Amino acid sequence: KYSHKIGEYESQGDKNSIYSDCGIVYLPKRPYFLCVAIEGQTEEGVNNIIKSISQTIYKYLSDVNKLSGDCTVERKRSFSRTL
């Protein structure tokens, strides 16, 4: 389950829009908040990037839950390298 809000900011005099998506993901035992803002991409490109970021974080936190909620330093390091 999740709740989210999307947004688009069009600055005057600049053709680049800023797209954002912020939300709460209700992962059992480990809900989290994620907010992503991207500039200089098409709307389709932004959707793909945000989807990839969200899936990576969701998979990581789901795996951490399977390990009894322990988040070791090694797992944190390997996660930061994947982003």
**Residue 66's pLDDT is what?**
83
* Spatial distance between the Cα atoms of 72 and 22, rounded to a whole number of angstroms: 27
**Residue 28's pLDDT is what?**
87
pLDDT in tens, 1-54: 888 898 988 876 667 789 999 999 999 888 999 999 999 888 899 999 999 999
DSSP lists the bridge partners of residue 35 as 22
**Residue 50's pLDDT is what?**
94
Q: What pTM was estimated for this model as a whole?
A: 0.69
The answer for residues whose C-beta is within 8 angstroms of residue 8's C-beta and 6 or more apart is: 17, 18, 19, 20, 43
